[in-house]
Amino acid sequence: MVLDLFTRWLEDEPHARATDPSTSHAADRANRPKRESQAVKLLRAYAEWGPMTDEEAARKAGIVGGWKRCSDLRNAKAIVPTGDLRQTSMGVQAQVCVITGIGREMLNAPIPQPARLGRANV
C-alpha cells in the first residue's frame, strides 16, 4: 500500500505560526493544493536534473520563490543536503540538495485531489 506521503508531510509541517491570526491559518489550509503542485514540480526537477540548489531547482521547475517548498521538502526528508555548495545568482553560497528515497516515493505516490462539489453543494 502506498502511503499518502503528501498529506502526511503537509499536515505535520505547520505553515502558519501558532501566534499567527486565524486568517493566516485559513490561508495555510487554502494554499495546500498549490504547495502540493509545487512540491511535485520540485521533486521532478531533482529526479531529472540531480543535485541542485534551491534556486536551481525552482528555476528548473518554473516556480518563483521555490525556496520555501524546498525547505518543506528538506523537513520531510524528501531532499537532503549533499555537503556541496554552489554560488547563487546573488553571489552567495547555497547548499546543494539531492532527492532521497522518500522523495522518490512521494513523487510516485498518488497526489490527493481536492474534494469536488456535487450539484447539491453548488
| pLDDT tier for residue 107 given thresholds of 50, 70 and 90 | confident
> Count of CB atoms within 10 A of residue 38's CB?
23
116, pLDDT greater than 90? no
Range of the domain at 89: 35-109
87, β-bridge pairs: 93
pLDDT at 120: 47
| 52 lies in some domain | yes
Element at 85 (helix H, strand E): strand 79-87
pLDDT at 66: 81
Number of folded domains in the chain?
Answer: 1
110, pLDDT greater than 90? no
| 1 lies in some domain | no
Express each pLDDT in 64-98 by its tens digit: 888 888 998 999 899 999 999 999 999 999 999 99
Tell me the mean pLDDT in the region 28-45.
70
| 122 lies in some domain | no
pTM score: 0.66
| 121 lies in some domain | no
| 98 lies in some domain | yes
| 97 lies in some domain | yes
| pLDDT tier for residue 1 given thresholds of 50, 70 and 90 | very low
* Cβ neighbourhood burial of 68 (10 Å; 0-12, 13-18, 19+): middle
Cell numbers of 18, please? 501558532
Amino acid making up residue 76: A
pLDDT at 7: 52
| 2 lies in some domain | no
CATH of the domain at 56: 1.10.10.10
What average pLDDT does the structure give for the chain? 76
How many Å apart are CA 46 and CA 52, to the nearest integer? Answer: 7
